[in-house]
């Protein structure tokens, strides 16, 4: 499933085609994705201008001139293609399968910029909703979403407070969207390795008894920000036919230190450990038991 860096890469790829442009025509090839598309979806988009394309957690948020926001989520296998004349781009690079089969082209936006933007989603876990801008923060999908990890408000004190009374592991806490938004399996594993913290460590150890952040919380916040910045700079992570807007493959997967590297040598300088895979909450965790404590 795409995580924050992959969704941000998609946002940056779509923004030039969408921002300041009007929906001239919207085609729907089916009535639903993960949920039914909103009532009057076509009419509520056509003729409206996209005043800005933002992102919150793993949601793309297109602000419309009508005062509504088009919320879009890629789900497991959603992707966009942007065609301008004969030139086609596929913004975003994900660590998952994607398809070019036209049978899975579910929604097509024709923009006044001249771009045709196609949403393709073979597994249909994706989502498109229309929400009033002023009701967005209270929307059931947004209400519980935790802080943006790249935002200034996200710091050691905030993370320590969120984890202080948790009975879960660090892996589970960081994967919890209420604690911090947008992280999934890949970047949680990578951030914990960079911070040299074990995924099995109790999340509560990020805080002192009085709830203040420990040095571990400081290290972990820095590692989270670093790994996300590095991944966004690389255009996200990809395994297969995943291309950025400029046609290059997102290549952060070559920088994975532990994710998907079971049995390989730990890349921490001076560490002679081997990357191990364990299962936590049904998901694979990759880490180095030698240098992650």
Q: Which residues are catalytic?
A: 2-3, 58, 283
Residue 75 backbone class (left: φ over 0; alpha: ψ -120 to 50; beta: rest): left
Provide the minimum distance between the beta carbon of 239 and Zn ion in the complex, in angstroms, as a whole number. 24
**Residue with smaller CB distance to Zn ion, 122 or 273:** 273
CB of 290 to Zn ion, least distance (A): 5
At 228, give phi and psi (nearest 5°). -70, -45
Tokens of 190: 């990578």
CA distance 99 to 85: 21
How far is 107 from 121, CA to CA, in rounded Å?
A: 9
Shortest Å distance, C-beta 286 to Zn ion: 11
Residue 276 CB, nearest approach to Zn ion (Å) = 10
- Report the interface residues with Zn ion, using CB under 5 A: 266, 268, 271, 273, 288, 290-291
Q: How far is the CB of 268 from Zn ion (least distance, A)?
A: 4
Quote the tokens at residue 53. Answer: 């394309």
**What is the Cα–Cα distance from 135 to 33, expressed in whole angstroms?**
22
∠ CA 49-53-56, rounded to 5°: 140
Q: Which is nearer to Zn ion, 198 or 238 (CB)?
A: 198
User: Which one, 215 or 269, has the nearer CB to Zn ion?
Assistant: 269
- Residue that the structure tokens 């935002």 belong to: 151
In this complex, which beta carbon is closest to Zn ion, that of residue 62 or of residue 291?
291
Instruction: Looking at the chain, list the stretches that DSSP marks H as alpha helix, in order from N- to C-terminal side.
Output: 4-18, 41-45, 140-143, 156-163, 170-175, 185-194, 215-233
Distance separating alpha carbons of residues 199 and 202, to the nearest angstrom: 8
Contact 23, 42 (CB under 8 A): no
Residue number, 20 or 267, with CB nearest to Zn ion: 267
């Amino acid at each position: 499933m795409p995580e924050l860096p992959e969704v941000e890469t998609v946002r940056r790829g779509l923004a030039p085609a969408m921002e300041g442009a009007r929906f001239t025509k919207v085609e729907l090839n089916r009535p639903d994705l993960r949920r039914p598309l909103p009532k009057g979806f076509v009419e509520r988009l056509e003729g409206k201008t996209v005043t800005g394309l933002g992102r919150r957690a793993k949601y793309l948020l297109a602000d419309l001139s009508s005062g509504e926001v088009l919320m879009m989520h890629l789900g497991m296998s959603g992707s966009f293609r942007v065609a301008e004349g004969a030139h086609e781009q596929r913004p975003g690079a994900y660590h998952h399968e994607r398809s070019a089969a036209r049978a899975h082209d579910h929604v097509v936006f024709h923009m006044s910029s001249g771009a045709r933007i196609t949403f393709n989603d073979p597994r249909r876990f994706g989502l498109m909703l229309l929400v009033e801008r002023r009701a967005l923060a209270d929307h059931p999908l947004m209400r519980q979403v935790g802080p943006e990890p790249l935002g200034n408000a996200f710091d050691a004190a905030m993370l320590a407070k969120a984890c202080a009374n948790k009975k879960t592991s660090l892996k589970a806490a960081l994967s919890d969207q209420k604690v911090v938004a947008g992280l999934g399996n890949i970047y949680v594993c990578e951030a914990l390795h960079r911070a040299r913290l074990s995924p099995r460590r109790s999340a509560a150890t990020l805080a002192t008894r009085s709830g203040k952040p420990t040095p571990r919380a400081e290290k972990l916040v820095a590692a989270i920000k670093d790994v996300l910045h590095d991944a966004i700079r690389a255009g996200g992570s990809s395994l297969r036919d995943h291309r950025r807007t400029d046609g290059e493959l997102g290549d952060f997967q070559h920088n994975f230190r532990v994710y998907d590297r079971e049995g390989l040598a730990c890349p921490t300088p001076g560490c002679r450990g081997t990357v191990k895979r364990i299962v936590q909450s049904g998901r694979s965790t990759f880490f180095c038991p030698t240098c992650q404590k």
